[in-house]
A and B are shown apart, each in its own frame.
Chain A
Amino acid sequence: MLTVSDLRVSYGQIEVIHGVSIEVQEGECVALIGANGAGKSSTLKAICGLVTATSGTITFEGQDITNQSGHNIVRAGITMCPEGRQVFPQMTTLQNLRMGAYARRDDEQAIDLEEMMNMFPILRERKHQAAGTLSGGEQEMLAIARALMARPRLCIFDEPSLGLAPKIVAEVGATIKRIKKMGKTILLVEQNSLMALRLADRAYLFEAGEIVLSGTGEELQSHPEVVKAYLGH
């Protein structure tokens, strides 16, 4: 479904992604794990058109989307739930959710809105509240729901557990599992490697802008190097 081949990304003169190749099949949950600054988020940003790729190609459902502008990639069917939630703070929860459906032109948006509020009852309670006044966990739920409002075929989560209390992290994990059950294709970036590997069908391990290891979630969970460096036991 999504094929990234030999992707290179530079910020100014400094290359941060040195030829990365990733494959995501339909209905799969793929995780990118690795330390801070390993290049996971930059890879995602290149896929979403927020940064430009210096070389390599990105194809989605047979369509070349390399260096397309961000809004065209959303229309192609890829939505990202960004790192740090990035809700629109002064807009209400409802307005945030509606923004999620911005690229859609169908008339089923109201139905999806209901569905999202059934999925996340807290959002219904906070319906008319400014998103900036929600707690971190609530904002994360809002960001996930907002991403789903676009009815994406590929849903990208960038560090959904970042900066959240352990209890909420578990909740986020459960939510992603539910989304997976809905049949959505997921690309997940996490520093919480254990959670990511448990959720993922397959995973790639990033180190200093390169993929050093790949395999199924279980394989990586039991790989001695991963266990030592990332799972900490």
Chain B
Amino acid sequence: MIEILQQIINGMAIGGVYVLIALGLTTVFGILGIAHFAHGSVSMFGGYLTFFFVVTWGLPLIAAIVIALLVGLILGILIELLAYRPVRNANHINAFIVALGLTMMVEGLNLEFFGHEQVVIPTDFSWVFKIGGVTIPELRLYTILAAALLIAAMTIFVEKTKTGQAIRAVAENRDAAILMGVNVNTIPLVVFSISTALGVCAGVMVGALFAIAPGIGEGLVVKGFAVLILGGLGSIPGAVVGGLVDGGPARPGSVPHGGRNRPDGRNDPKGIRRAGPQLCNACGGLRDLGGGGLRVRHVFGQYPECGCALV
């Protein structure tokens, strides 16, 4: 029972990330009918940017996230204006091709600016909560809470504000929305800035929980679309349910371990991550080394102490 609960909690963090990605994709799809493939790469860009601000500029994490969000908003607006707007009235295949090209461009930019090294956004959240036998690393808990907060904010925005209702109206019937007085030229800008901001948040979460590396964004966007198909294209509640279902409980073996970590281990007193028993990335097994600590970061091959033969 405890294990199942633990799995669900573990799954909720990554599920929350999926939901955020899927929310961005679903709003864009609902409004413009575009499969915005570049979303995952843009989201990784946000993660990279946050890492860059924290590590290179030494900004506090929150400040770094806020700046990354602002850059994300602008990037979203630029993507809409420069990439998608010119093909809005054209055949859908054009937008499809633009989306694919954009993915390559953003991936290329990420590589150019941030290099090919895998990076992890350093955080100070090293505490581990233990509630009735279930272990929740602080970082994971904050991720779940932040995702929940963003999902709630998005729902309230769409359901309760005039702009949110206009977004829905354009998605359901564009011409009728014009007749209500909705400016259908500004709505896509709003949608893209919101969706990109959600993507940046997801990127930061992935970067803090796991790692950002080239190619991860593409995997994430595929996941996002899987979630969307599960929950229904264009549907916000569907995206939430789909993301949580897909998040982890269904596939325990593939749930990556959480907790804070840095490639150089500097943040780690005694070099031990206090993350309690966790899943090992390589073998997928649950291992506890005792002493309340477990070191698993097979990705970097730096903490082979988990004893896993696959490292």
Which of B169, B172, B184: most chain A CB closer than 10 A? B172
Measured CA separation A226–B45 after assembly (Å):
67
The interface size bin for chain B is 10 to 19
* Cβ–Cβ < 8 Å partners of A79 in chain B: 179
10 pairs, CB–CB < 8 Å, chain A vs chain B:
A48-B179, A71-B183, A71-B184, A86-B175, A87-B173, A89-B172, A90-B168, A95-B168, A99-B169, A99-B177
- Taken together as a complex, chains A and B put the C-alpha atoms of A98 and B169 apart, in Å, by 11
**Contact yes or no, A91 B169, CB < 8 A:** yes
The 9 closest A-B pairs by CB, nearest first: A103-B181, A74-B181, A70-B178, A86-B176, A88-B172, A71-B183, A102-B180, A71-B181, A99-B180
Closest residue to B170 on the A side, CB-wise? A88
With A98-B165, A102-B166 in contact, do A87 and B181 touch (Cβ < 8 Å)? no
B162 at the interface (CB under 8 A from A): yes
Rounded to whole Å, the gap between the CB of B156 and the closest CB of chain A is 14
Q: Give A82 to B5 CA distance when docked, in angstroms.
A: 53
Main secondary structure of the interface of B (DSSP, over half): helix
B185: shortest Cβ distance to chain A, in Å? 7
Interface membership of chain A positions 70-89, coded 1 if the CB is closer than 8 angstroms to chain B and 0 otherwise: 11001100011010001111
Question: CB of A36 within 8 A of chain B?
Answer: no
List A residues 54-110 near B (Cβ within 8 Å).
69-71, 74-75, 79-80, 82, 86-91, 95, 98-100, 102-103
Q: Are A71 and B172 in contact, CB atoms less than 8 angstroms apart? A: no
Residue from B162, B175, B179 having most chain A Cβ neighbours under 10 A: B179
Whether B165 lies near A50 (C-beta < 8 A) is: no
Among A88, A90, A91, A99: residue with most chain B CB under 10 A: A99
- Count A-side interface residues using an 8 Å CB cutoff: 26
Q: Which residues of B contact A95 (CB under 8 A)?
A: 165, 168
Q: How far is the CA of A86 from the CA of B179 in the complex (A)?
A: 10
Contact A82/B180 with A91-B168, A95-B165, A102-B166 known, Cβ cut-off 8 Å:
no
Question: Is the CB–CB distance between A71 and B182 below 8 Å?
Answer: yes
A209 interface residue (CB < 8 Å to B): no
A32 to chain B, nearest CB (A): 18
Q: A99 — which chain B residues lie within 8 A by C-beta?
A: 165-166, 169, 177, 180
Given A88-B169, A98-B165, A102-B166, A82 and B183 contact (CB-CB distance below 8 Å): no
Chain B residues with Cβ below 8 Å from A17 are none
Decide yes or no: A88 and B181 within 8 Å by CB, A50-B175, A82-B176 being known contacts. no
Query: B177 contacts which chain A residues (CB < 8 A)?
Result: 88, 99
CB-CB under 8 A for A100 and B180, given A69-B185, A95-B165: yes
